Amino acid sequence: MGSFNDFLDYLQVKRRYSERTVRLYGDAVRDFLKHVYPEKLMVNSGAGVRAERLMVNSGAGVRAERLAVNSGAGVRAERPAVNPGTFEEGALGDGAFEGSRDAEFPGFSDEEVLEALRFPLIRGYVASLLDRNLDARTVNLHLSALSTFCNYLVKQGKLHSNPVKEIVRPKEKKRLPSFYTPDILEKYFESPPDIESAGTADNSGKPASAKTVYCAVRNRLIVALLFGTGLRRAEAASLRTGDIDLSRKTINIIGKGNKQRMIPLPDSLCQEIEDYLLLRDEFISEVCSSGALARSGGQSGEEKVFLPDAGGRPGTDAFFLTDSGKPVYLEFLNRVVKSELSGIEGISGRKTPHTLRHSYATALLNNGADLNSIKEVLGHSSLAATEVYTHNSFEKLKEIYKTAHPRAKE
């Protein structure tokens, strides 16, 4: 179906969705079509690949698995089990539709796809998602993706109306964002960086290497920046040195939908960044030296590293670097935050970059910032997304009540 690729282009170019979001929307539409046409075999005559649906009795019940069978090589690849309650890549289903960004719908005509987009079939799809034990939020994400596809087809004149609008969506449970209080985080910032555990421990009594010192200061700054600016994890990972203006004490962020915003930096954070950049330069010099050895066949087993150059090519100006000199990635930030906050008294539960973002927003609200200002610095597209933090001020409300209400003083 040619409209599908056009739809993905529309999401990426017109709506300016991220590449990951585009993939998830595509997977959701494919998952719906697999539900409507469960017995339809996908045959690629050129590659000799066919998809078979096998029913496997696991003892606890019957589970459905898709096996991709390469008849030429006799290779069978089993997809991993779906993790209920998630909307991550690959969690939308386990079928032959999964593929590249530009994959069409093999074996489906425009007429078949349009025929599938009817109220009874979509309602049945919702029931099947709930039967998979997916939570209400995940089901609604599936429906949002499908609704966006229908709206696109309506605009193109291929569909008369959007049938997803008639579907009663499952009610989501309101989840309170978890956060850390400033006084608890202050305990973390008051302790010195753990230089030994940040890099390779050296008990020889020699001064710590530039790499070891850099890793410790970098880890500390990651936590400080996330809590001091409320950046999203992906925004912190894609941060470049040129995005930070220490003279103006601001940080320039390109967030979701390529929306640009500027966030003020406190004086203390500016000083930490300035110190960090000096260590980063020393670390890069050390990494370049070891990388040159690796490239020229130096010491055996030495890891080949990413080498920044003077041309400013992609990745060379990444603000945060891994231990091997490469730009940080999302899971790396997760591990750093979890490691840094582990063992801190008063910090329990989830230790994630997003929890630090929640902590930032809650601290602003509790100290008198208005919702519109918080919305701007967080990069929210609507005020509704920011209002979730208002209930987190309840502890402050209780303190005001205790000091202001006459009955509370008794």
Among candidate residues 304, 240, 307, 311, the one with its CA nearest the CA of residue 277 = 240
State how far the Cα of 164 lies from the Cα of 80, in Å rounded to an integer: 29
Q: Which long-range contacts (C-beta less than 8 Å, at least 24 apart) are formed by 105-108?
A: 105/1, 105/4, 105/30, 105/33, 106/42, 106/43, 106/44, 107/40, 107/41, 107/42, 107/43, 108/1, 108/33, 108/37, 108/40
Q: Is residue 308 within 8 Å of residue 284, measured between CB atoms?
A: yes
Give the H/E segment covering residue 250.
strand 250-254
Residue 249: φ, ψ to 5°:
60, 50
Give the H/E segment covering residue 126.
helix 119-131
Place of tokens 């193109």: 156
Among candidate residues 168, 87, 96, the one with its CA nearest the CA of residue 126 = 168
Report the 10 Å Cβ neighbour count for 234.
16
3-state SS record for 254-299: ECHHHCEEEEECCHHHHHHHHHHHHHHHHHHHHHHHHHHHHHCCCC
- DSSP lists the bridge partners of residue 64 as 55
State how far the Cα of 152 lies from the Cα of 274, in Å rounded to an integer: 47
Amino acid at 231: L
- The number of C-alpha atoms within 13 Å of 134 and in the hemisphere containing its C-beta is 24
User: Which 8-state DSSP code applies to residue 242?
Assistant: G
State how far the Cα of 133 lies from the Cα of 43, in Å rounded to an integer: 30
Could you list the active site residues? 232, 256, 354, 357, 380, 389
Residue 189: φ, ψ to 5°:
-70, -25
